[in-house]
């Protein structure tokens, strides 16, 4: 296995220059191809991993690996340990050298300390890997690779933002655009836009189902359905698609006043003890009651009533 590097001591020819500049000139770190330097489990070796062929760059040096590299993680005495796979660039001596290394971490799912002195010794994060005591294979791999071209950068996991935190940086992760801006004290801080196909909401409080916590964007479904209440006056609306996380709120409206005499309105049923999570609205559906007011009487529940319900559901 050979890692060929361009950007350490020595000359750079025209072909190397044409490949080097569009990469190292756009971002501190990057990977060339989709599958370059991909980390995978090596099941034939205790705590073994493979790093695929390809090229990547960091701080002015472009490296190309021509064969798969295998590394072995250290023993774990108890519990879990999150280690980090890096491309280590060493500028010492004449020519410099790049190697792949595993940095031992801790039980916390976070990037461990690494070398950050470009021109002397610097570590480019590639993946975070989890080893478990008593297990011979890597248990989880979190990709930290990033790709940069023509003024933009893409990464696969938000943990990559940890080492990309430079003022002015823009990174797209899972459809959300992250921008690094100064906070009130002038320190680098990340803000994000909503992922494509989602909507930002402000002043978000509690949810009908689950905990919205901090999500980059919310999903909205709207539509109309013709349903019939049961013998008491309840009906179940199933959303066109189940929300991956939970339901923030749902609006139910009478979709056809001319189809029923008098005023008709709908309310979320609210009895989780009987209906389960659907009583207050779950990721997949909501149970509601239909009420009618006729000739000044009521409102009363409307059993066995065919009706049209218009809905707007917001979830995440």
Domain end marker among 94, 113, 145? 145
Q: Which domain holds residue 225?
A: 219-315
Least confident of 16-20, 64-68, 71-75, 312-316: 16-20
Least confident of 18-22, 83-87, 232-236: 18-22
* Average pLDDT value for residue range 141-147: 96
Whether residue 130 sits in one domain with residue 232: no
Closest to 143 in 3D by CA, of 131, 162, 156: 156
Number of domains in the chain: 2
Q: State the pLDDT at residue 297.
A: 64
* Average pLDDT value for residue range 185-192: 88
Q: Mean pLDDT for the chain? A: 87
Flag whether 288 is in a domain. Answer: yes
- Span 118-134, pLDDT tens digits: 999 999 999 999 999 99
Whether residue 309 sits in one domain with residue 224: yes
The residue with greater pLDDT, 95 or 129, is 129
Flag whether 166 is in a domain. Answer: no
* Average pLDDT value for residue range 5-27: 85
Model confidence at 204, pLDDT cuts 50, 70, 90, reads low
Counts for the chain of helices (H) and strands (E), in that order:
2, 24
Q: State the pLDDT at residue 17.
A: 85
Flag whether 289 is in a domain. Answer: yes
Q: State the pLDDT at residue 212.
A: 60
* Average pLDDT value for residue range 108-116: 95
- Residue 218 predicted with pLDDT over 90: no
Q: State the pLDDT at residue 13.
A: 85
Q: What angle do CA 37, 61, 3 make, to 5 degrees?
A: 50
Whether residue 106 sits in one domain with residue 19: yes
Q: State the pLDDT at residue 123.
A: 97
* Average pLDDT value for residue range 7-18: 87
H or E segment to which residue 23 belongs: helix 14-24
Phi then psi dihedrals of residue 278, to 5 deg: -70, -20
Flag whether 192 is in a domain. Answer: no
Q: Are 139 and 133 in contact (CB under 8 A)?
A: no
**CATH number of the domain that residue 231 is part of:** 2.60.40
> Alpha-carbon distance 128 to 144, whole Å?
7
* Average pLDDT value for residue range 172-180: 86
Q: State the pLDDT at residue 183.
A: 86
Q: Are 50 and 70 in contact (CB under 8 A)?
A: yes
Flag whether 110 is in a domain. Answer: yes
Whether residue 138 sits in one domain with residue 15: yes
Domain end marker among 130, 145, 160? 145
Flag whether 214 is in a domain. Answer: no
Q: Which residue has the tokens 């099941």?
A: 43
Flag whether 12 is in a domain. Answer: yes
Q: State the pLDDT at residue 215.
A: 65
Domain end marker among 145, 180, 197? 145
Percent of the chain whose predicted confidence (pLDDT) is above 70: 88
Whether residue 140 sits in one domain with residue 39: yes
Phi then psi dihedrals of residue 120, to 5 deg: -125, -70
Cα–Cα distances in angstroms (integers) from residue 220 to residues 57, 215, 256, 310, in the given order: 40, 14, 22, 14
b/e code 147-186 from CB counts within 10 Å (16+ = b): bbeeeebbbebbbbbebbeeeebebbbeebbbebeeeeee
Q: Is the pTM of this model over 0.85?
A: no
H or E segment to which residue 274 belongs: helix 272-275
Flag whether 186 is in a domain. Answer: no
């Amino acid at each position: 296995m050979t890692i060929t590097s361009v950007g350490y001591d020595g000359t750079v020819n025209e072909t190397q220059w044409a490949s080097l500049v569009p990469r190292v000139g756009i971002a501190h770190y990057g990977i060339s191809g989709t599958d370059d330097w991909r980390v995978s489990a090596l099941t034939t070796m205790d705590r073994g991993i493979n790093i695929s062929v390809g090229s990547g760059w960091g701080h002015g040096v472009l490296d190309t690996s021509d064969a798969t590299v295998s590394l072995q993680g250290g023993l774990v005495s108890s519990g879990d340990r999150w280690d980090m796979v890096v491309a280590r660039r060493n500028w010492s001596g004449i020519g410099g050298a790049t190697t792949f290394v595993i940095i031992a971490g801790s039980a916390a799912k976070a990037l461990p300390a690494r070398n950050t002195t470009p021109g002397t010794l610097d570590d480019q994060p590639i993946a975070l890997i989890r080893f478990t005591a008593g297990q011979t294979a890597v248990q989880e791999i979190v990709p930290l690779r990033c790709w940069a071209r023509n003024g933009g950068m893409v990464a696969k996991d938000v943990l990559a933002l940890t080492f990309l935190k430079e003022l002015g940086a823009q990174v797209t992760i899972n459809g959300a655009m992250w921008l690094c801006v100064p906070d009130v004290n002038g320190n680098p801080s990340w803000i994000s836009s909503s992922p494509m196909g989602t909507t930002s909401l402000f002043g978000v409080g509690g949810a009908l189902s689950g905990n919205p916590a901090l999500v980059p964007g919310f999903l909205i479904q709207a539509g109309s359905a013709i349903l019939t209440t049961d013998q008491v006056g309840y009906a179940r609306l199933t959303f066109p698609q189940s929300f991956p996380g939970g339901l923030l709120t749902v609006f139910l409206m009478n979709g056809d006043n001319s189809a029923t005499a008098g005023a008709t309105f709908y309310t979320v049923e609210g009895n989780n003890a009987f209906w389960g999570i659907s009583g207050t609205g779950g990721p997949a559906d909501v149970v509601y009651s239909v009420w009618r007011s006729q000739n000044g009487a009521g409102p009363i529940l409307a059993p066995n009533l065919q009706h049209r319900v218009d809905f707007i559901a917001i979830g995440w």
